[in-house]
């Protein structure tokens, strides 16, 4: 919701008998109307349990008082119906004040006696059940607090401060690996509150609200809190408030570097496409030096790369050069099924060229004409390192190139999830206002190769007849950005198209590599610990004849370093399934 007023979780657990629910809701609506409120209902009506959030601005003294009045009135209404204030989650800081009203003073005295007996010093969760202070005290906002606005490169709708304020402290980001999902990988590895999505959002909110510095982002504590964020984007979809810490971290780094300068390593990683372009002039020599123990070790030391890491090699040719020289060899089969534009991302262009070639060949063999216009890199590396001005320049150029080319019938298709999904996520928030609608439309027509193939299969334009009938099992690890902004389902579906291919999705979160994060020596241990939570054990358990698949280049490198096993891109799996094994 734009503005200062938000849905406040203060009536979040009431429960009455299901048969009483209609009358209860009627009285509740009448009560809320008296406060000038209309509310949204959600939760478990079938069990007589409701979550309701009034819309309040807790930066106003009046609304803080209304919060308390609503809470007390709600407690009295629930008691009238012999219900419970805590139908699902339990009493606590919000409802503790009203426990004496609900159960009576005599019973409340018994609770206090039990508490005093087992916790005479009052050190265990004080003030949560007994002796709870008023519910509208110790709030995160001060009365009369004004919302500050900051000039940012990324657009945050209501501003970056309100983006941070979206965190309501529910702590879903403290989910552990056995609970599934992606967020928050660093918290899962360290189990330290400072490494949770909640901590990052709240720390940013606190400093931006209270700092008197000319650059309020210039806080070493904020840098430490943001440091282990892998920018996986899991929070954008899994946090119930959709707190986007990945974007906030990118903006924070940009603002922080205004005071401290951009570190040398960050510049190198952010400009890796240009560096690889230089190295690709003599790829054999470049690879020799990177793999040489002495020179490679010195390079890692200078860049602060973990010595245990293998550096990604350059392919003997770039995908762009191969396409130019072999375009006639990838003319589509007739009749043609249509045209797609392939985004030649910086990773597929220089390192994973073989995957790019197979993508061209696969699409051609399936009957699609592939065009690969000249365009700059995606800007993913610059985004991850907070170099947002560079990322914005690349976004503007790419939008200008593709906005008149990519349509629903001629989509822009990408191999690397983190690169192509930038069109959908960051580009509309980076380009000038005049280009935003074009960027949004382009983002809708920018598809993962997995998504494109799945759509074509759904329309009956690609069938199992094109593939082998051999029996294979595929173990699939999805990319974090794919999980947050798209889905792993299309990938699993296309890999299951060959008649006897069985696909199992590993219930892993982030692989732990996350671009350059896992290469950095101070992050190496956390990176590998994240991989050890679910991904590495699952891969190690897999039989030798099981295909391990992963769409992300970082994921494949992490699997290789962590297990010694080479993971395949889904395109490679399908290419081999067409009878091209070994090519």
User: For 188-200, how does the pLDDT look when each residue is reduced to its tens digit (9 = 90+)?
Assistant: 999 999 999 999 9
Region 47-75: mean pLDDT is: 92
Fold that domain 464-580 belongs to in CATH: Rossmann fold (3.40.50)
**Residue that is written with structure tokens 């282990």 in the block:** 228
Residue 155: the pLDDT is: 96
**Beta carbons of 417 and 448 less than 8 angstroms apart:** yes
**Beta carbons of 153 and 388 less than 8 angstroms apart:** yes
The torsion angle over the Cα atoms of residues 243, 246, 250 and 256, rounded to 10 degrees, is 70
Region 14-33: mean pLDDT is: 94
Contacts of 258 (CB under 8 A, 6+ apart): 215, 217, 218
Query: Ramachandran region of residue 525, left (φ > 0), alpha (ψ -120 to 50) or beta?
Result: alpha
The yes-or-no verdict on residue 572 having pLDDT over 60 is: yes
**Beta carbons of 342 and 320 less than 8 angstroms apart:** no
Q: What is the mean pLDDT of the chain?
A: 93
Band of residue 578 on the pLDDT scale cut at 50, 70, 90: very high
The torsion angle over the Cα atoms of residues 263, 269, 272 and 278, rounded to 10 degrees, is 50
The yes-or-no verdict on residue 21 having pLDDT over 90 is: yes
Distance CA 180, CA 202 (A): 24
Band of residue 290 on the pLDDT scale cut at 50, 70, 90: confident
**Beta carbons of 517 and 266 less than 8 angstroms apart:** no
Residue 153: the pLDDT is: 97
Phi and psi angles of residue 375, each rounded to the nearest 5 degrees, phi first: -160, 160
Distance CA 400, CA 390 (A): 16
Phi and psi angles of residue 140, each rounded to the nearest 5 degrees, phi first: -70, -20
**Beta carbons of 302 and 269 less than 8 angstroms apart:** no
Distance CA 388, CA 249 (A): 11
Residue 158: the pLDDT is: 87
The yes-or-no verdict on residue 223 having pLDDT over 90 is: yes
How far is the CA of 422 from the CAs of 378, 446, 454, in angstroms?
7, 9, 20
Phi and psi angles of residue 106, each rounded to the nearest 5 degrees, phi first: -65, -50
Distance CA 222, CA 528 (A): 24
**Residues 133-169: tens digit of each pLDDT:** 999 998 888 887 777 889 999 999 889 999 999 998 8
Distance CA 231, CA 517 (A): 9
Distance CA 52, CA 14 (A): 9
The residue among 213, 352, 167, 350 whose CA lies nearest residue 272 is 350
**Residues 245-264: tens digit of each pLDDT:** 999 999 999 999 999 999 99
Please list the residues that pair with 474 across neighbouring strands: 503, 547
How far is the CA of 303 from the CAs of 169, 265, 290, in angstroms?
37, 6, 12
Q: What is the DSSP string of 100-130?
A: HHHH-HHHHHHHHHHHHHH-TT--SSTTSSS
Q: What is the DSSP string of 494-544?
A: HHT-STTEEEEE------S-TTTGGGBGGGHHHHHHHHHHTHHHHHHHS-T
The domain limits of the chain are 6-118, 160-261, 274-303, 319-455, 464-580
Distance CA 470, CA 414 (A): 28
The yes-or-no verdict on residue 3 having pLDDT over 90 is: no
Peptide bond into 30 cis (omega under 30): no
Do the first three CATH levels of 6-118 and 464-580 match, i.e. the same topology?
no
Q: In 3-state terms, what secondary structure has residue 412?
A: strand
The yes-or-no verdict on residue 40 having pLDDT over 80 is: no
Contacts of 547 (CB under 8 A, 6+ apart): 472, 473, 474, 475, 568, 573
The yes-or-no verdict on residue 334 having pLDDT over 80 is: no
Q: Report yes or no on whether pTM surpasses 0.85.
A: yes
Least confident of 57-61, 244-248, 388-392, 518-522: 57-61
Distance CA 13, CA 52 (A): 8
Least confident of 1-5, 289-293, 371-375: 1-5
Q: Where are the beta strands (DSSP E) in 278-393?
A: 338-343, 368-371
Q: Percent helix, strand, coil in the chain (nearest 5)?
A: 50, 10, 40
The torsion angle over the Cα atoms of residues 143, 149, 155 and 157, rounded to 10 degrees, is 40
**Beta carbons of 548 and 542 less than 8 angstroms apart:** yes
Band of residue 523 on the pLDDT scale cut at 50, 70, 90: very high
Q: Where are the beta strands (DSSP E) in 151-224?
A: none
Q: Which CATH architecture has domain 6-118?
A: 2-Layer Sandwich (3.30)
Distance CA 566, CA 550 (A): 10
Residue 126: the pLDDT is: 92
- 10-19, 176-185, 360-369 — which one is most confidently predicted on average? 360-369
Query: How many H-runs (helices) and E-runs (strands) does the chain carry?
Result: 29, 12
Percent of the chain exceeding pLDDT 70 equals 99
Distance CA 577, CA 583 (A): 12
Contacts of 190 (CB under 8 A, 6+ apart): 228, 526, 529
The yes-or-no verdict on residue 582 having pLDDT over 60 is: no
User: Domain 160-261 has what CATH class?
Assistant: mainly alpha
């Amino acid at each position: 919701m734009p503005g200062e007023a938000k849905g406040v979780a203060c009536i979040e657990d009431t429960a009455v008998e299901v048969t009483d629910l209609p009358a209860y809701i009627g009285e509740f609506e009448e009560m809320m109307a008296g406060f000038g409120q209309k509310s949204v209902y959600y939760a478990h009506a079938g069990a007589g349990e409701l979550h309701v959030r009034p819309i309040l601005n807790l930066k106003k003294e009046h609304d803080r008082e209304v919060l308390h009045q609503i809470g007390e009135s709600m407690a009295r209404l629930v008691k009238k119906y012999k219900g419970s204030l805590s139908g699902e989650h339990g009493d606590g800081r919000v409802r503790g004040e009203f426990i004496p009203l609900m159960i009576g003073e005599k019973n409340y005295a018994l609770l206090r006696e039990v508490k005093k007996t087992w916790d005479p010093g009052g050190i265990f969760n004080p003030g949560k059940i007994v002796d709870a202070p008023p519910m509208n005290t110790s709030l995160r906002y001060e009365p009369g607090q004004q919302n500050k606005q900051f000039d940012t490169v990324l657009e945050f709708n209501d501003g970056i401060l309100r983006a941070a304020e979206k965190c309501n402290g529910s702590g879903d980001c403290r989910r552990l690996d056995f609970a599934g999902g992606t967020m928050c990988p660093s918290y899962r590895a360290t189990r330290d509150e400072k490494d949770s999505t909640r901590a990052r959002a709240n720390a940013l909110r606190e400093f931006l609200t209270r700092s008197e510095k000319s650059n309020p982002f210039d806080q070493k504590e904020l840098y430490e809190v943001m440091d282990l964020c892998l920018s996986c984007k899991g929070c954008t979809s899994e946090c119930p408030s959709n707190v986007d810490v990945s974007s906030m971290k990118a903006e924070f780094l940009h603002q922080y570097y205004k005071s401290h300068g951009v570190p040398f390593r960050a510049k190198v990683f952010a400009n890796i496409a240009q560096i690889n372009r230089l190295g690709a002039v003599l790829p054999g020599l470049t690879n020799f030096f990177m793999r040489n123990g002495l020179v490679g070790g010195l390079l890692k030391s200078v860049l602060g790369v973990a010595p245990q890491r293998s550096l990604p090699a350059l392919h003997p040719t770039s995908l762009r050069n191969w396409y130019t020289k072999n375009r006639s060899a990838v003319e589509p089969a007739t009749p043609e099924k249509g045209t797609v534009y392939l985004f030649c991302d910086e990773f597929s262009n220089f390192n994973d060229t073989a995957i790019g070639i197979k993508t061209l060949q696969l699409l051609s063999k399936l009957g699609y004409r592939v065009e690969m216009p000249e365009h700059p890199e995606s800007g993913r590396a610059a985004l991850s390192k907070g170099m947002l001005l560079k990322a914005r320049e690349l976004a503007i150029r790419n939008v200008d190139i593709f906005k008149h080319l990519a349509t629903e019938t001629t989509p822009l298709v990408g191999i690397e999830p983190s690169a192509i999904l930038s069109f959908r996520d960051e580009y509309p928030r980076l380009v000038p206002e005049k280009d935003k609608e074009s960027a949004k439309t382009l983002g809708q027509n920018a598809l993962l190769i997995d998504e494109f193939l799945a759509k074509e299969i759904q329309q009956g334009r690609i069938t199992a007849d094109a593939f082998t009938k051999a029996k294979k099992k595929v173990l699939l690890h999805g990319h974090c950005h794919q999980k947050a902004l798209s889905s792993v389902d299309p990938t699993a579906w296309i890999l299951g198209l060959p008649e006897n291919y069985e696909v199992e999705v590993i219930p892993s979160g982030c692989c732990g590599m996350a671009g350059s994060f896992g290469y950095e020596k101070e992050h190496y241990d956390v990176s590998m610990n994240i991989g050890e939570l679910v991904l590495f054990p699952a891969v190690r358990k897999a039989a030798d004849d099981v295909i391990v698949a992963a769409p992300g280049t970082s994921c494949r490198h992490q699997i290789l370093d962590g297990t010694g096993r080479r993971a395949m891109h889904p395109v490679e799996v399908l290419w081999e399934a067409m009878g091209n094994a070994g090519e």
